[in-house]
Amino acid sequence: QSALTQPASVSGPPGQSITISCTGISGDVGSYNLVSWYQQHPGKAPKLMIYEVSKRPSGVSNRFSGSKSGNTASLTISGLQAEDEADYYCCSYVGSRLYVFGNGTKVTVL
């Protein structure tokens, strides 16, 4: 199973909105509404930000939102803040109790 495709980096000034794409194939992102997104700060464990494409766990800011169209899922961060600077990974269920992650996107707040 190949990694899902994400842009290597996305940046924006504080207050701006940015969107990270996550492209798979019909066998993963396109087949299941089971895409999740994880934030990872350097040296830290990943943190769940979005699950089931667009749902937000309690405690996660409503500045984070998710969506999906066809084989591409997206994570949007609105009102970009310094603390949002991190690596972001998408993840999709691919069947048979297995998953695939995206290659990761580094978000830089300018």
Partner 1 sequence: EVQLVESGGGLVQPGGSLRLSCAASGFTFSNYAMHWVRQAPGKGLEYVSAISSYGSSPFYANSVKGRFTISRDNSKNTLYLQMGSLRAEDMAVYYCAREYCSGGSCWNYFDYWGQGTLVTVSS
User: Is residue 24 near partner 1 by the rule CB under 8 A?
Assistant: no
Residue 17 vs 74, nearer CB to partner 1: 74
Write the DSSP assignment of 75-105 as a string of letters. EEE-S--GGG-EEEEEEEEEETTEEEEB--E
Rounded Cα gap, residues 105 and 99, in angstroms = 18
Number of residues that bind partner 1 (CB under 8 A): 28
Residue 26 vs 96, nearer CB to partner 1: 96
- Please choose, out of 12-20, 49-57, 60-68, 69-77, the segment that lies near partner 1 by the rule CB under 8 A: 49-57
Tokens of 92: 């999709």
Residue 9 vs 44, nearer CB to partner 1: 44
